[in-house]
Structure 1
C-alpha cells in the first residue's frame, strides 16, 4: 500500500455535505443529496479512490478492518437507515403514497438538517481512519500458524466463563461485556477456522460456545446482538465459502429484519415487564414472530420508520440545542472521564445510565416518567458539545481512534487474524455502534488496557513471540 496520499482528494468526501448545504432551503432535495452522499463516500473509500486500500490482504480477508467493517456498520446505520422515516414524512406507508397527504415543512427541515450532520459525520469519521491508515506494517510479535487454531480454541473456552466471573463481581461488570464480546468473536472465528480444517472437536466446542452466545443474544431483548451474531459468522466464513455465504446468510439477514421487530417486542413485554422466565418468553416470542401473518407489513414498516433509525430523536435534540439548552462544550468529555473509575474503587460512583439520561430528559426528547431508554448516539453527543464543529472534530477523532487501535492490535498480536479479527473486533466492538461519550470512552480505555494485559499473558505463555 502506498503511504502517500493527496490531501486534496479528501475534499471530495465533503462535497455531498457542501452541496446539501447549498440546497438547505429545499429540505427534500437537501436531504436526498446528503443521504445519497454517504453512498458516494462508501464508493470512494471502499474502491480506494481517496487512499488505496491495504494490499497486504485481499478485500475478503480484511473485512474486519475499520475502513471496511466499522465504516459500513457505524456509518451505514447512522446515515442510511433514515430513508424510511423521511418517506413517512412525505406521506408514504408501507412504500405506498397516501393520497392528499400534506407534509409538515418544519419536520422535513429538521430531518434534512439531521441528515446533513450525518453526512458530515460520515466524511469526518472516514477521514480520520484514512489519515492514520498505514499498511502493511511489520508486527512486533508473531504467532505460529500451527498455534493459531489452538489459540482460538482456548480463547473460546476461557473468555465465556471469564465474562460470567466478572459479571458476578460487584464493581467489575464493565469487564464482563468485554469478555462476552471476545467470547462471541472467538467462537465465531474458531468455527470459521475449524470447519475448513475439519477438526471435529474444535468444531463442536466452538459451536457450543457460539450457541451459548447466540442464546444470550436471543434472550437479551435487543435486535442488535442477534443480527451481529449471524452477520459476523457469515463474514468469517465468507473468504472460504463465498457462494454458500451469499446464498444462505443474505436471505437469513433479510428474514431477521422482518421477524425481529415482533420477536423483540414480545420478549420485552413478557420477560422485562411480565415476569416470565427467559426460556418461556423466548419460545412465545418466536411463535409470535413466525405467526405474525397479516400484521407483518404493518409491524415491519413501523420498525423501519420509528426504530431502525434514530433521526427522530436527533431532530428533538436539534430543536432544543442550542435554542433552549446551550452547548455542553467539554462538559460531556469531563463527565466521561469520571466514569472511567471502576465501581469497585468508587462504590458511590454515579450510575452512567442516569448521567446520560439526564441530558435526554433535559432536552425533552423523552419524558422522565417514561420507561424507555433513549441514550444519545455518539454523533448526537458530538452535536450537543459544539454543534457542527463538534460533529466534525469528534467524528474525526472517532475514526483516528478506531484505526489506531486496530493497527496497534495487529502489531501486538502478529497480524490481522488475532489482532483485528479477534482482539479489536472483540474488545472494541463498541466502535460498530457509536454509543454515548461515557460508554465509548469507558469501553475504549479499559478495552485498551485489557488488550495490553492479554498480549502480555500470551507472550508469557509463548503463544506469541517476537517476530
Structure 2
C-alpha cells in the first residue's frame, strides 16, 4: 500500500513538473508583456523569445525528443519541420521590418525612428511569440513515440513505390485541375507528387540504380523548373529545403556544405528574380519561359538588387506589416469576428462541385482585409491574413492561444495517424503527412486551412484504402 502511494505521489509530481515545463514556453511572452511600455525592449524580448523556444524544444528540455529514430532521420515530424518553417517564418523574420522602423536602411540610419509604429510592432511580435509557444505546446502534448502500427510496407518495395506515386499523382492532379470545383485536389496531389519524387531521389542516390536515379533527377528538375515559373519564392526555397532534409541522413557533410550556402544564395537573388518575373508576366508581353530567362539575367546582373532585396526583407519576408493593420483596426474599429470565421471555414469545406452557388472563399476572406483597410477595394493586390491573424481577429490574444494550440495538436495527431496507417515514418510522415499536409508549414487563412486539412485527411484515407486493396500495405502478423 505504501509503495503504491509512493508511486502515485511520484507520478503526480512528474505530471505537475511537466505542466510547469510547458509554462516555461510562455515566459518570453510574459516578460515581453511586462515591458510593453518600452516598445524596443518588448519587441526584442519577444523576438529573441522565439529563439529561446526553439532551443528548449529542439534540445529536448521541455519534453524528450522521439528516440525511435536518429534526429537526422525524423526531421519531417512536426516538432522539427512544421515548427521551424511555420514558427520561423512567423516569429523570426520581422526583425528587418523592426530595423527599418528604427530608421535604418541596411546598416545606415537614414530616417528618424518611427515611434508611432514601434508600439504596434512590439505588440504584434508578442502575439507571434505567444503563438509560437502555443503551437509547440500543442505539438509536445500529443507527441508520443514510438508509433505502434499494425501495418507495414516491405522495405525493398519502398523506393519503387515512391517513384510510382510521384509518376501517378502528377497527371492525376492535372485531371482534378481540369475538373470544375475539384481544383483543391490538384494542390494536394501535386504536392504529394513532388514529395514522393524528391524522396525517391534520396532513395535512388545510395542505391545507385541508374534508371531510377535518372527518372528521379528528371522529375526533380521538372518540379524545380515549375517552381521557377510559379512567380513565388516559397516553392523554389521549399524544393531545395525538402531535398536537403531527405538527403541529410545519408550525406550530412555534403548537405551542410552545399545546401546552406545554396539557400543563402537563393535568399540573395530570389527577390530580384521574382520581382522581375512578375513584372514581365503581369504586363502580358512575355511568356513564362521568356520571363524566367529575363528575370534570371536581371537577378544575376541587375543594378537594383540592393533596393529590391531590402524591400523584400522589410515587407515581403515577414507579414508583420499587414498584422499591424489588423491589430490597429480590431477591436477599435472592427469588432472581433468571434465564431464567424469558423462558420465560413465550414462552408469552405463543401466542394463547389456539389454546391455551385457556394460563396467564393476568397471573397469571404478579402472582406476582412477591406474592413481593416489593409488594401483598398478594387486593388489587384492580395493581403489574405495568416492563421495567427485570423485567430487574433476572432478572439484576440485568447484566440491566438487556443487556435495555435489546436493547430500544433492537429499537426502532431495527423502525423502520428499517418505513421500508423502507412507503417512508419518514411511512408507515413515523410511522404503522406509532408505531401498532403504542407498547409501546416505555412498557416493560411482559416477558410483555406480548414478546407485543405479536411480534404487532405480524406485523401490520406483514400490512398490508404487503395494501397490496402492492392496489398501494398500489409497487416503485421500478431504473435
What TM-score do you get using the length of structure 1 for normalisation? 0.97
2:38 alignment counterpart: 26
Task: Verify: 1:463 aligned to 2:467, yes or no.
Answer: no
Residue 8 of structure 1 and its aligned partner are, at CA, apart by: 0.8
Contact conserved, 1:127 with 1:396, CA < 8 A, in 2? yes
2:426 alignment counterpart: 417
Task: Verify: 1:360 aligned to 2:369, yes or no.
Answer: yes
- Within 5 Å, which residues of 2 pair with 1:6-25? 6-25=18-37
- Within 5 Å, which residues of 2 pair with 1:430-441? 430-441=439-450
Contact conserved, 1:160 with 1:179, CA < 8 A, in 2? yes
Task: Verify: 1:44 aligned to 2:56, yes or no.
Answer: yes
Task: Verify: 1:394 aligned to 2:406, yes or no.
Answer: no
2: CA distance, partners of 1:124 / 1:62: 22
2:417 corresponds to which of 408, 412, 432: 408
1: CA distance, partners of 2:364 / 2:230: 23
2: CA distance, partners of 1:296 / 1:332: 40
1: CA distance, partners of 2:427 / 2:282: 37
Contact conserved, 1:327 with 1:386, CA < 8 A, in 2? yes
Residue 275 of structure 1 and its aligned partner are, at CA, apart by: 4.3
1:112 corresponds to which of 122, 132, 138: 122
Residue 270 of structure 1 and its aligned partner are, at CA, apart by: 1.4
Residue 103 of structure 1 and its aligned partner are, at CA, apart by: 1.4
1: CA distance, partners of 2:358 / 2:229: 29
1: CA distance, partners of 2:77 / 2:117: 37
- Within 5 Å, which residues of 2 pair with 1:189-200? 189-200=199-210
1: CA distance, partners of 2:428 / 2:108: 47
- Within 5 Å, which residues of 2 pair with 1:283-362? 283-292=293-302, 294-362=303-371
331-340 vs 215-224, which moves further: 215-224
Paired residue secondary structure (2:383): coil
- Structure 1 residues 46-65: Cα deviation after superposition (integer angstroms, max 9, x where no partner): 00000000000011000000
- Structure 1 residues 202-237: Cα deviation after superposition (integer angstroms, max 9, x where no partner): 111122222222122111111100100111001100
- Within 5 Å, which residues of 2 pair with 1:26-425? 26-98=38-110, 101-292=111-302, 294-425=303-434
Gapped regions of structure 1 (runs ≥ 5): none
Contact conserved, 2:103 with 2:114, CA < 8 A, in 1? no
Paired residue secondary structure (2:57): helix
What TM-score do you get using the length of structure 2 for normalisation? 0.95
- Structure 1 residues 220-276: Cα deviation after superposition (integer angstroms, max 9, x where no partner): 111100100111001100111111111111111111111111111111111133242
Paired residue secondary structure (1:181): helix
360-369 vs 310-319, which moves further: 360-369
